[in-house]
A = this chain, B = another copy of it.
Amino acid sequence: MIDVAFLGTHVRPTATAVVIDVLRATSTITLALASGYSRVLVAGSIDEATALRTPERTLAGEVGCARAPGFDLGNSPEETLEPRTAELVLATTNGAPAIVAAAASADEVLVASLLNMGAVLEQLAAREDVLLVCAGTDGRVSMEDVYLAGRLSAGLDGARSDAARVAEAFAAAYPDPLDALSASAGAVGLRREGLESDIAFCAQESIVEVVGRLSEMVEGAALLTAEPTTAAAPAAELHT
């Protein structure tokens, strides 16, 4: 069954959970892994991320869309294009709890964005029990997450739930992903902070081939590593 959870807190037992936080956590995680960070530690808050700081880790995180005080990077995917260390610590208020909740009820947890949509679909092709988990924003459904859930559901074979069909119909209403992302409540906040370019960046489809996979919990953070697809170079070759 292909199913969709409209909020990160609404996961249920499943074989494979795919966490979606298009603006911007899962886009940033995906691009960081594709850019050469070998490990991304996803923390649930600025404080938790700060506690993970070591000289070997780059800290990324936002407060109200802007870079957190004292952090190396904000939460713009493009800031991860040139890795500074092997490990990135990313503080994200919506993505992290969604990943942790998914980990508690799924055999495996992947991370999806539009940036790696094609690679995610390749990974999911052989799966029969998939829950697409929309992280949402502060307990509210985010349309950009539902959009990607709908695109992923539409790209998979097999029976689907009513929730998956709602997401598919919603995605079908937006021929251009940028329109779906731009219309979202999340886009309003990004534009207010002068981060409009992030919206267009996150709307790019299938520009990288790696898929973040939850490896284990490390000091309370979710450790994600790159899962190369059959079409991509081995993850090792992408790492610094």
Contact = CB atoms under 8 A, between A and B. Distances in A.
A185 interface: yes
Interface residues of A, number: 26
B142 A162 contact: yes
Given A10-B7, A10-B10, A166 B170 contact: yes
A166 B139 contact: no
Interface in A10-53: 10, 12
A146 B162 CA distance: 9
Given A7-B10, A173-B169, A163 B139 contact: no
A146 B166 contact: yes
B185 A139 contact: no
Nearest to A167: B166
Contact of A140 (B163, B169, B173): B163
Interface string A143-167: 1001000000000000001110111
A236 interface: no
A139 B184 CA distance: 26
Nearest to A162: B143
A141 interface: yes
A141 B169 contact: no
Contacts of A4: 141
A162 B134 CA distance: 12
A217 interface: no
A233 interface: no
Interface in A182-211: 183-186
Contact of A161 (B141, B163, B167): B141
Nearest first, the 5 A-B pairs at minimum CB distance are: A141-B163, A143-B162, A169-B173, A6-B6, A169-B170
